[in-house]
Amino acid sequence: MAKKSSLKIIFLGGLNEVGRNIMVLEKDNNIVVVDCGIMFPDDYLPGIDFLIPDFLYLKKNVDKIRALIITHGHEDHIGAIPFLFRDLKPAKIPIYATRLTLGLIKSKLSSSYFQESDDNSLLNEIDPSKKLHIGPFDMEFFRVNHSIPDGVGIIFRTDIGNIVHSGDFKFDQYPIDGKVTEYAKISNIGQEGVLALFCDSTNAEEKGFTVPERDVGKTLYEKFEQAQKRIIVATFSSHIHRIQQVLDAAKKLDKKVAASGRTMLKTIKIASELGYLKIPDDTVIPITKIDDFPLNKIVMLSTGSQGEPLSTLRKMALAEHPRVKIMKGDMVIISSSPIPGNENAISSTINMLLKQGADVFYESIAGVHVSGHAQQEEIKMMINLVKPYYFIPVHGEYKHRIQCAKLAQSIGMTNEKIIIAQNGDVLKMNDNLCRISGNITLQNIYIDGYGSGNTEDIVLKDRKILSRNGIIMINTIIDSKKSEVIKEADLTLKGIIYMEEFEQIMNEGREIISDAVKKCFDNNMTNTQLIENNIKETFEKFFSKKINARPVIVSRVIDLGKI
């Protein structure tokens, strides 16, 4: 009998963080990748748009990659796909996803910057009722409820055992679209036997069951009834069920809905065209028409529930939106929960809206949001249905995954059967073993505009210093042939708090710069770059000693003797 090869599971992201989800399954020289998402930055990453996984391992093993399987259409699961395609080019990797998820991916790949990656022949629709065979993996899918339609979990059948990936899930007994989690499939694989369960841990700290989505719909309707003026609802553009409930409440109360925000408009278009969003007749209007109706008849759907700098709601809060100025009595509903790291931005947005006279309702005070992730009792139910031999918490910060592990222990799983992995870990599995066999060192890959790379040590370091201490630019004109300083140094300061004796310090600084240049000449140093470095080092020491601050110093020397 031929020896069965082991299965390797490699985590390239999604552990110790909420976002950047990507997991690699490798067996018999075949690789299947599950999800490929981004992570949004926190306040400690100034100017960074988002982070993507480190694809180096996949680049090195590109010939083994057979497929990319996507569980659902959230950015933390699909946002990095264009960057993966760019990095693996010219390799063509087929993508498998459900219908709505595929529509969102198509839109992402057809953006102008990534048009070269757009290849519809590689996009394959997952039918959850059908199985999929790729290499050594036989895959079966089960529908799950989440905060976006068309989410699935995955069953991988291999010769060493069955592996279950829960996807992002919750158990909603009466979902908006009527598509209940496929409990029978989950239970059946549990009866058959499961070697390992990889389980969503995001809400493992929350007791009980997740509140049904329909409860938010009731709250929204009540708020809409109470509103005396305009209503502005900010939510994730991907939250199709939430958008549906806003539309339905508006229709019942004879209000008009106008959407604002590029991603909101795009997602509504895709979801409605594919049949996942049913737009009531005579309800939606262009935002250019909102002034044609009484204030109490207007509902606006907006991006910006996370306080994003360029979002519609943030622009309204800053009084910078071209069409909408917040009025006293406007009702603003922020229908989402903060992504970790966004708390300050959201709080700032709320405060600015309140100062303009708006009535603001948000999750912690008004029940206008419910999560799409399973809470403690649902996680226990998933474990009991699947009955895994090994349990691996995924999709969450370290504290979430530790709590998820404790939940497994609380219903009888022993500690040695629970694996707490980290990003980069290589999990080796066979029919009687599951252990971490090594770790791949991963870099943080930052996206800033169209640029990307591991910029932490250089660019981010400078940005952090700039944000804390400001910058001083020194321009000096010399003549190296005559060994003279032609013009006293010109100092430009940005981001530095003014002091009473500042001018005196600057005059002293200019003298020190002149002395530094003269010392260079005395030592026969005429290289412009060396003189600039000497000015920078000398002034940095002087300034630090004088005001106990270390701003970024930029020195530029113009040498007339070399012109």
CATH number, domain at 273? 3.40.50.10710
Residue 541 lies in a domain: yes
Greater model confidence, 4 or 377:
377
- Alpha helices (H) in 318-427, listed in sequence order: 343-355, 363-366, 376-386, 398-410
Does residue 251 share a domain with residue 140?
no
Q: Are 392 and 327 members of one domain?
A: no
Whole-angstrom distance, CA of residue 151 vs CA of residue 370: 17
The neighbour count for residue 173, using CB atoms within 10 Å, is: 10
Mean pLDDT of the chain: 89
The per-residue pLDDT for range 144-161, each reduced to its tens digit, is 999 999 999 999 999 999
CA 386, CA 388: separation in Å to the nearest integer? 6
Same domain, 183 and 229: no
**What is the SS3 assignment for 492?**
strand
> Per-residue pLDDT tens for 218-276?
999 999 999 999 999 999 889 999 999 999 999 999 999 999 888 899 999 999 999 99
Residue 174 belongs to some domain of the structure:
yes
Calpha distance 283→281 (Å, rounded): 6
The tens digit of pLDDT for each residue in 494-523 reads: 877 766 777 888 888 899 999 999 999 888
pLDDT confidence of 47, banded at 50, 70, 90? Answer: low
For residues 152 and 194, membership in a common domain is answered with yes
Give the pLDDT score at 120: 64
| Per-residue pLDDT, 499 | 67
Residue-range definition of the domain harbouring residue 421: 7-208+371-453
Percent above pLDDT 70 for the chain: 92
CATH for 528: 3.10.20.580
pLDDT for 60-77, tens place per residue? 999 999 999 999 999 999
Return d(Cα 410, Cα 90) in angstroms, integer.
49
Same domain, 195 and 219: no
pLDDT, position 452: 54
pLDDT of amino acid 112: 44
Same domain (yes/no): 81, 195: yes
Alpha helices, DSSP H, located in 127-261:
183-192, 213-226, 240-252
- The single-letter code of the amino acid at 458 is I
- Does 379 map to a domain? yes
On whether residue 318 sits in a domain, the answer given is yes
Question: Distance of CA 278 to CAs 50, 72, 151, 460, Å?
Answer: 32, 20, 19, 45
Active site residues per annotation:
200, 373
Least confident window among 7-16, 265-274, 433-442, 479-488: 479-488
Is position 130 within any domain?
A: yes
Query: Same domain, yes or no, for 14 and 100?
Result: yes
The CATH number of residue 69's host domain is 3.60.15.10
Residues 394 and 348 in one domain: no
Beta bridge partners of 234: 302, 334
Yes or no: say if 474 and 535 are a contact pair by the CB < 8 Å rule: yes
Domain stops at, among 403, 419, 453: 453
Each residue's pLDDT tens digit, 301-353: 998 888 887 788 999 999 888 888 999 999 999 988 877 777 888 888 999 99
Domain membership of residue 462 (yes or no) is no
Q: Is the same domain home to 375 and 353?
A: no
Whether 20 and 49 map to the same domain: the answer is yes
Q: Is residue 479 part of a domain?
A: yes
pTM: 0.83
Domain end, chosen from 342, 365, 388, is at 365
| pLDDT at residue number 306 | 85
Q: Per-residue confidence at 117, pLDDT binned at 50, 70, 90?
A: very low
Same domain, 302 and 379: no
Residue 527 has pLDDT above 70, yes or no: yes
Percent of the chain's residues with pLDDT above 90: 62
Kindly indicate the confidence band of residue 543, based on its pLDDT and cuts at 50, 70 and 90.
confident
How many CA atoms are closer than 13 Å to the CA of 247, on its beta-carbon side?
20
The answer to whether residues 321 and 428 belong to one domain is: no
Domain count, the chain: 3
Of the residues 335, 365, 395, the one at which a domain ends: 365
Query: For the chain, how big is the Rg over CA atoms in Å?
Result: 28
Q: Which residues of 205-237 are buried (b: 16+ CB within 10 A; e: fewer)?
A: bbeebbbbbbebbebbbebbeebebbbbbbbbb
Is the residue at 463 inside a domain? no
Would you place residue 423 in the very low, low, confident or very high pLDDT band (cuts 50, 70, 90)? Answer: very high
